[in-house]
């Protein structure tokens, strides 16, 4: 394949197109226009013009679309010019380069192994020292993992607790207390315990439904006065806020993974990947007509985790 | 003259003349599919350049500040420093929005180029000996690129990416035994801890890019050492590479490719809006945007999360939450299989020889079928990640689409694999030039060859003699 010379592995022209692409061999090569230089120069000229345009647009205050287009044109001009230059005016192969065989010869390998093992003896003969070294490095490595602990606090009970307590006043996202009488049937509100508007696990979806339609389990009979029902807003699947409420069907939708919860049936999941209902928050109406929590959630809110027992 | 003197100066100190001569004469195959990896490489260069520009203006703080700037609807709003600086660099820094959008588009094209590159390597058997090492490095590059894409679009602290971080936190929580600790250590406490944006910033601009550069250098170094593989053809053997020399033809062509990529990316970044964080608004733990889709390369995990049935099970009385299977086990299995494929195939085919000549995809119907089934699975996952958007467009209830998606995800990949096997087999046996040239008779022959003999005879007997054949 390659022709003689001092470096057989350096690319050498391989005679009359032995590596021509399939199907092309034998066909007449189409005649190319004789002077590609003019078009290449025009492309480079376009690049220079677009570059000047970009600089001018920038100088005059900038305009995103125009800047993008001008830079695109500038680079497209370069791309065309260089591609054409490479294809028309530079040495075309095919060139051939030989592969060196992979893997060393048996003698080289044996020589390497012998030398390496001989030197290794200085280490492997001292068995006891080797073990002591392994102990030292192992202990040091384990000790160096300790600073990882600085990255975060102990989970402790954090995942079980929310800022909701019995008696916590119910407020809106801007901190105003919620009056029971202000909520008509079908209205929905995201509420928080007072003083915890930024907490990740505090958001509660408060909906007023037709009290007769609710089907609460007996132990939660007094949890939703006058059809005011409150559930954690955090999806039990992956923790997204369950942000969509469909008034007619009383269904709650999570926009992240399309879990659907039936509000009337204890926010039980009826479609999508969520496996557990949205925990309910017991609420009551104060003598002044405002809402407050009468206890904590029935269980941990949000996505599941290993240590939870229920 | 100056060039010569400079070269002599260098050679006196490095003795590099002969190495340089060999390097410049390195031969690159001319087939277009060998440039897919280069597209990824040049996208990476673009990402580094535009990314450096962005770091000059971005502030990864989660402390609350008041935004003052050119974007009027947010003027005076209390938002995080990360969000404020992202909006400011989009509206108040000249070419800032262009750089940000080019950066984001380059990330999308970067991962796309890697995926197509992996497909080319897979279907042509370029991962076979001696290139297993580069396959392993390449799969690692893919995994790191996905991760860095996610960490990057989570930085602006907008509502869409904030919800994405919350999902990531829930996925970490779902890991058995260590989940709570893992989530708390990574995020710096219970969500939304104020550490995560800053940590992601360090990871996104220093840690992962550093590793990427090192692995890229190894990837390309091994490529140079091993030289290119090539498609079979006249004059091409197992012992040579036929194509263009690096200098000057191929280098010029490659720089032209870089310029073409920059042209496309600047056109996209200038004209096609992407990730308009000022429309999503700042992150608020109680709010969510709808519809909510991640960048395309995370879509398969999103689709798996949406399609996985509402199953949770218990081990030793402890809960294994739902996201663990679709968002931890599925990705682990995906990359595990990718890493193992060259060695699995060596086992199955008993082919342990070195190969410099590539397969045509049709040479290996089984490999093609496995690849097509896998691509169908992940493609379908990507589609199901938008089941809410499809529901809105088609007016089919989303619950129906979720069920349909589950059925298609189970049935689709095997169908795709078998169909691919038959078509590829017909291609191989008939020698047709392309899929469209295969006649129906050749397809039928491939079907006959695919169905095992005994079963075919049994089926024929059943047709001929009623129930006797059973």
Q: What confidence tens digit (pLDDT) does each residue in A178-226 have?
A: 999 999 999 999 999 999 998 889 999 999 999 889 888 888 888 999 9
Q: What pLDDT score does B453 carry?
A: 65
> Residue B387's pLDDT band (boundaries 50, 70, 90)?
very high
Q: Name chain A contacts of B174, Cβ cutoff 8 Å.
A: 303-305
Asked if B307 has any chain A CB less than 8 Å from its own CB, the reply is yes
Q: Name chain B contacts of A80, Cβ cutoff 8 Å.
A: 256
Please compute the mean of the pLDDT values over residues A88-107 and round it to a whole number.
86
Percent of chain A with pLDDT over 90: 69
Percent of chain A with pLDDT over 70: 88
Contact A153 B239 (CB under 8 A): no
Q: What pLDDT score does B464 carry?
A: 59
Separation between Cα atoms, residue A109 and residue B232, nearest integer Å:
32
Cβ–Cβ < 8 Å for B117, B124: no
| Nearest in space to A250 (alpha carbons), one of A258, A260, A241 | A260
B interface mutation test: which of A189, A304, A310 has the most B CBs within 10 A? Answer: A304
Q: Is B400 helix (H, G, I), strand (E, B) or coil?
A: helix
Instruction: State the smallest CA–CA distance between residue A151 and chain B in angstroms.
Output: 5
Q: Is B406 helix (H, G, I), strand (E, B) or coil?
A: helix
Contact B95 A67 (CB under 8 A): yes
The residues, any chain, with a CB within 8 Å of residue A4's CB and separated by 6 or more, are none
Contact B322 A237 (CB under 8 A): yes
Q: What pLDDT score does B454 carry?
A: 63
Separation between Cα atoms, residue B461 and residue B449, nearest integer Å:
18
Partner A, chain B 315-334, Cβ-Cβ below 8 Å: 317-323, 326-327
Q: What pLDDT score does A11 carry?
A: 43
Q: What is the pLDDT of residues B326-344, one digit of tens each?
A: 999 999 999 999 999 999 9
Q: Is the pLDDT of residue A57 over 70?
A: yes
Please compute the mean of the pLDDT values over residues B44-54 and round it to a whole number.
98
For chain A, give the mean pLDDT: 87
The structural domains of chain A, with segments of one domain joined by +, span 34-94, 170-293
Q: Is the pLDDT of residue B214 over 60?
A: yes
The dihedral sign for the CA sequence B106, B112, B115, B117: negative
Separation between Cα atoms, residue B322 and residue B311, nearest integer Å:
6
| Nearest CB to B288; choose among A78, A255, A303 | A255
Partner A, chain B 32-91, Cβ-Cβ below 8 Å: none
Q: What pLDDT score does A30 carry?
A: 57
The dihedral sign for the CA sequence B296, B298, B301, B302: negative
The structural domains of chain B, with segments of one domain joined by +, span 29-292, 360-470
- Both tokens of B125, joined, read 């058997």
Cβ–Cβ < 8 Å for B192, B166: yes
> Residue A29's pLDDT band (boundaries 50, 70, 90)?
low
B interface mutation test: which of A23, A202, A254, A305 has the most B CBs within 10 A? Answer: A305
Separation between Cα atoms, residue B469 and residue B466, nearest integer Å:
7
Which residues partner with B65 through β-bridges?
B79
Instruction: State the smallest CA–CA distance between residue A154 and chain B in angstroms.
Output: 7
Q: What pLDDT score does A8 carry?
A: 39
Q: What pLDDT score does B241 carry?
A: 94
* Beta pairing class for B318-320 and B313-315: antiparallel
The dihedral sign for the CA sequence B265, B266, B267, B273: positive
Looking up tokens 């022209």 gives: A13
Q: Is the pLDDT of residue A3 over 80?
A: no
The residues, any chain, with a CB within 8 Å of residue A306's CB and separated by 6 or more, are B175, B176, B177, B178, B179, B180, B318, B319, B320, B321
Q: What pLDDT score does B268 carry?
A: 98
DSSP readout, B3-64? Answer: HHHHHHHHHHHH--HHHHHHHHT-EE---GGGGHHHHHHHHHHHHHHHHHHHHTT-----SE
Cβ–Cβ < 8 Å for B187, B169: yes
Asked if B234 has any chain A CB less than 8 Å from its own CB, the reply is yes
Q: What pLDDT score does A218 carry?
A: 86
> Residue A10's pLDDT band (boundaries 50, 70, 90)?
very low
Asked if A185 has any chain B CB less than 8 Å from its own CB, the reply is no
Asked if B260 has any chain A CB less than 8 Å from its own CB, the reply is yes
Cβ–Cβ < 8 Å for B238, B356: yes
State phi, psi for A101 to the nearest 5 degrees: -65, 140
Q: What pLDDT score does A6 carry?
A: 36
- The hierarchical CATH code for the domain B29-292 is 1.20.810.10
Asked if B398 has any chain A CB less than 8 Å from its own CB, the reply is yes
Q: What is the pLDDT of residues B283-316, one digit of tens each?
A: 998 888 888 899 999 999 999 999 999 999 999 8
Please compute the mean of the pLDDT values over residues A20-49 and round it to a whole number.
73
| Nearest in space to A234 (alpha carbons), one of A143, A305, A146, A156 | A305
Contact B234 A94 (CB under 8 A): no
Per DSSP (E only), the strands in B164-262 are 240-245
Asked if A38 has any chain B CB less than 8 Å from its own CB, the reply is no
- Both tokens of A2, joined, read 């390659």
- Both tokens of B388, joined, read 């809410």
Contact B398 A305 (CB under 8 A): no
- Both tokens of A222, joined, read 């007094």
> Residue B161's pLDDT band (boundaries 50, 70, 90)?
very high
Per DSSP (E only), the strands in B179-263 are 240-245
| Nearest in space to B269 (alpha carbons), one of B40, B35, B46, B38 | B46
> Residue A32's pLDDT band (boundaries 50, 70, 90)?
low
Q: What pLDDT score does A24 carry?
A: 45
Cβ–Cβ < 8 Å for A231, A212: no
Q: Is A95 helix (H, G, I), strand (E, B) or coil?
A: strand
Instruction: State the smallest CA–CA distance between residue A125 and chain B in angstroms.
Output: 33
Q: Which CATH number fits domain A170-293: 2.102.10.10, 3.30.428.10, 3.40.50.2300, 3.10.105.10?
A: 2.102.10.10
Q: What pLDDT score does A33 carry?
A: 55
A interface mutation test: which of B166, B192, B387 has the most A CBs within 10 A? Answer: B166
Q: Is the pLDDT of residue B407 over 50?
A: yes
Instruction: State the smallest CA–CA distance between residue A115 and chain B in angstroms.
Output: 25
Percent of chain B with pLDDT over 90: 83
Query: HSE of B86 in the Cβ direction (CA atoms, 13 Å)?
Result: 31
Considering only alpha carbons, which residue of chain A is nearest residue B284? A198
Q: What pLDDT score does A122 carry?
A: 83
Preceding peptide of B248 cis, ω within 30°: yes
Percent of chain B with pLDDT over 70: 96
Q: What pLDDT score does A171 carry?
A: 96
Q: Is the pLDDT of residue B397 over 80?
A: yes
Please compute the mean of the pLDDT values over residues B270-275 and round it to a whole number.
97
Asked if A149 has any chain B CB less than 8 Å from its own CB, the reply is yes
Q: Name chain B contacts of A11, Cβ cutoff 8 Å.
A: 25-27, 245
| Nearest CB to B166; choose among A67, A81, A239 | A239
Query: Above 0.90 for ipTM, yes or no?
Result: yes
Q: What is the pLDDT of residues B418-465, one digit of tens each?
A: 999 999 999 999 888 888 888 888 888 888 888 776 666 666 666 555
Looking at per-residue pLDDT, the higher value among B2 and A295 belongs to A295
For chain B, give the mean pLDDT: 93
Which DSSP symbol is given to B230?
A: B
- Both tokens of B320, joined, read 């294994």
Separation between Cα atoms, residue B58 and residue A310, nearest integer Å:
43
| Nearest in space to B85 (alpha carbons), one of B66, B103, B102, B72 | B66
């Amino acid at each position: 394949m390659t022709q003689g010379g001092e470096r057989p592995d350096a690319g050498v022209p391989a005679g009359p197109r032995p590596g021509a692409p399939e199907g092309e061999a034998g066909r007449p090569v189409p005649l190319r226009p004789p002077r590609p230089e003019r078009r290449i120069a025009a492309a480079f000229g376009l690049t220079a013009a677009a570059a000047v345009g970009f600089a001018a647009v920038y100088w005059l205050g900038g305009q995103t679309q125009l800047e993008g287009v001008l830079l695109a044109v500038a680079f497209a001009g370069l791309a065309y010019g260089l591609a054409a230059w490479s294809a028309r005016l530079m040495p075309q192969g095919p060139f051939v380069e030989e592969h060196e065989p992979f893997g060393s010869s048996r003698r080289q390998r044996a020589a390497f192994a012998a030398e390496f093992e001989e030197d290794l003896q200085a280490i492997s003969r001292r068995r006891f020292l080797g073990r002591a070294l392994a102990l030292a490095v192992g202990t040091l490595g384990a000790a160096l993992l300790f600073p990882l602990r600085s990255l975060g606090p102990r989970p402790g009970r954090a995942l079980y607790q929310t800022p909701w307590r019995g008696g916590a006043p119910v407020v809106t996202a801007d901190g105003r207390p919620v009056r029971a009488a202000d909520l008509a049937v079908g209205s929905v509100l995201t509420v928080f315990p007072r003083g915890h508007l930024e907490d990740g696990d505090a958001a509660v979806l408060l909906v007023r439904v037709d009290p007769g339609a609710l089907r609460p389990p007996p132990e939660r009979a007094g949890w939703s006065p006058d059809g005011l029902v409150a559930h954690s807003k955090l999806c039990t699947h992956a923790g997204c806020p369950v942000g969509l409420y469909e008034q007619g069907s009383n269904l709650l939708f999570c926009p992240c993974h399309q879990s659907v919860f039936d509000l009337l049936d204890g926010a039980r999941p009826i479609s999508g990947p969520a496996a557990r209902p949205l925990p309910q928050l017991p609420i009551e109406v104060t003598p002044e007509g405002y809402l407050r929590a009468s206890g904590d959630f029935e269980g941990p809110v949000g996505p599941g985790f290993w240590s939870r027992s229920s | 003259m100056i060039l010569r003197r400079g070269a002599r100066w260098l050679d006196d100190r490095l003795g590099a003349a002969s190495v340089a001569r060999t390097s410049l004469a390195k031969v690159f195959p001319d087939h277009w599919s060998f440039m897919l990896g280069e597209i990824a490489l040049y996208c990476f260069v673009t990402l580094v350049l535009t990314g450096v520009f962005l770091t000059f203006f971005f502030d990864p703080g989660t402390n609350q500040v008041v935004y003052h700037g050119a974007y009027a609807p947010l003027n005076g709003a209390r938002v995080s420093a990360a969000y404020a600086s992202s909006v400011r660099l989009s509206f108040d820094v000249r070419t800032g929005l262009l750089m940000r959008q080019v950066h984001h588009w380059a990330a999308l094209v970067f991962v796309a180029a890697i995926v197509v590159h992996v497909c080319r390597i897979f279907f042509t058997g370029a991962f076979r000996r001696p290139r297993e090492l580069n396959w392993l490095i390449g799969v690692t590059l893919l995994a790191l690129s996905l991760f860095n894409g996610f960490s990057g679009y989570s930085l602006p602290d907008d509502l869409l990416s904030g919800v994405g971080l919350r999902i990531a936190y829930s996925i970490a929580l779902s890991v058995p035994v260590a989940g709570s600790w893992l989530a708390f250590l990574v995020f710096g406490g219970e969500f939304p801890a104020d550490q995560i944006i800053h940590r992601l910033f360090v990871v996104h601009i220093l840690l992962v890019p550093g590793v990427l550069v090192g692995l890229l250098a190894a990837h390309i170094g091994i490529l140079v050492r091993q030289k290119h593989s090539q498609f079979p053809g006249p004059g091409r053997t197992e012992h040579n590479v036929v194509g263009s020399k690096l200098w000057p033809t191929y280098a010029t062509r490659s720089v032209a490719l870089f310029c073409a990529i920059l042209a496309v990316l600047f056109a996209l970044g200038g004209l096609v809006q992407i990730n308009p964080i000022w429309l999503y608004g700042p992150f608020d733990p109680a709010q969510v945007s709808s519809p909510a889709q991640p960048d395309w390369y995370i879509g398969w995990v999103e689709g798996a999360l949406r399609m996985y049935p509402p199953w949770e099970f218990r081990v030793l009385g402890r809960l294994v939450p739902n996201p663990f299977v679709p968002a931890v086990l599925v990705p682990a299995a995906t990359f595990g299989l990718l890493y193992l494929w060259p060695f699995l195939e060596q086992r199955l085919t008993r082919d342990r020889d070195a190969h410099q000549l590539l397969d045509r995809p049709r040479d290996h119907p089984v490999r093609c079928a496995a690849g097509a089934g896998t691509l169908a699975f992940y493609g379908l996952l990507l589609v199901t990640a938008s089941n809410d958007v499809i529901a809105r467009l088609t007016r089919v209830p989303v619950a129906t689409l979720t069920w349909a998606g589950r059925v298609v995800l189970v049935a689709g990949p095997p169908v795709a694999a078998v169909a691919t096997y038959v078509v590829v087999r017909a291609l191989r046996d008939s020698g047709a030039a392309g899929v469209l040239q295969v006649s129906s008779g050749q397809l039928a022959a491939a079907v006959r060859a695919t169905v095992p003999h005994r079963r075919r005879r049994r089926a024929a007997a059943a047709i001929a003699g009623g129930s006797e054949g059973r």
